[in-house]
Amino acid sequence: MKTTFKIPAILLAFTALSISAKAQTTTTTTTTSTPGNSNGIRYSIGVDAGIPTGKLSDTYNFSIGGSLQVDIPVMQNLFVTVNAGYNSIQGKNNININGMEFNPTNIQLLPAKAGLKYFLIPNFYIQGEAGAAFLLNKSDLGDDKSAAFIYAPSIGYQFHIGGNSYIDAGVRYEASTKFNSVVDDSKVNFFGLRVAYGF
């Protein structure tokens, strides 16, 4: 029950910090928000989905979640990114292993990543992130680690929809180190899709 309350609280705190940072950043000139423009900090809130790969795909169907991201310009076409969110990886039903059926416990993760986003051409970018994924239900899964290192290379495209708004659609491969020091297949690897509203 405590985990259920932690997730909204963490996301709410991240949003508050982002809004506070935006309020303190003022400019005297009007800038455009054409994707790839490095004139200002950008914020996005998105829906994340994924398909497990490797051993994980034997017992899990898909992942679903959401994320908040801040893009901070450092030079033309290059941004530093900070991303935090929540992923729930859904177990398959009635898995049969050695003649016994069971339903895997959903994996609940809180990923926090930072990285770089570079626009190769207007609107189209490549991005690389690294950070940590925090396992929110370690005891339910029988794992002995609460966190694992994660990395996520991705590509994406930003669709300008008017004013300072855009849709950011990106695909990535996200991989982790082990959550259990004695189980080789305790990595959480998946192909993911993020579709976000940016402003």
Q: Is 7 left (phi over 0), alpha (psi -120 to 50) or beta?
A: alpha
Nearest to 170 by CA among 76, 46, 68: 46
Nearest to 58 by CA among 181, 187, 176, 180: 187
For the chain, the farthest-separated pair of C-alpha atoms sits apart, in whole angstroms, at 69
pTM of the model as a whole: 0.78
Alpha-carbon gap, residue 196 to 91, rounded angstroms: 25
| Residue ranges making up the domain that contains 126 | 2-198
Tokens linked to 40: 């200002």
Residues 6+ apart with CB under 8 A from 96: none
- The answer, yes or no, to whether residue 170 has pLDDT greater than 80, is yes
Average pLDDT value for residue range 140-154: 95
Q: Predicted confidence band at 80 (pLDDT cuts at 50, 70, 90)?
A: very high
pLDDT at 196: 98
Which CATH number belongs to the domain containing residue 122 in this structure? 2.40.160.20
The domain tally of the chain equals: 1
- The answer, yes or no, to whether residue 184 has pLDDT greater than 50, is yes
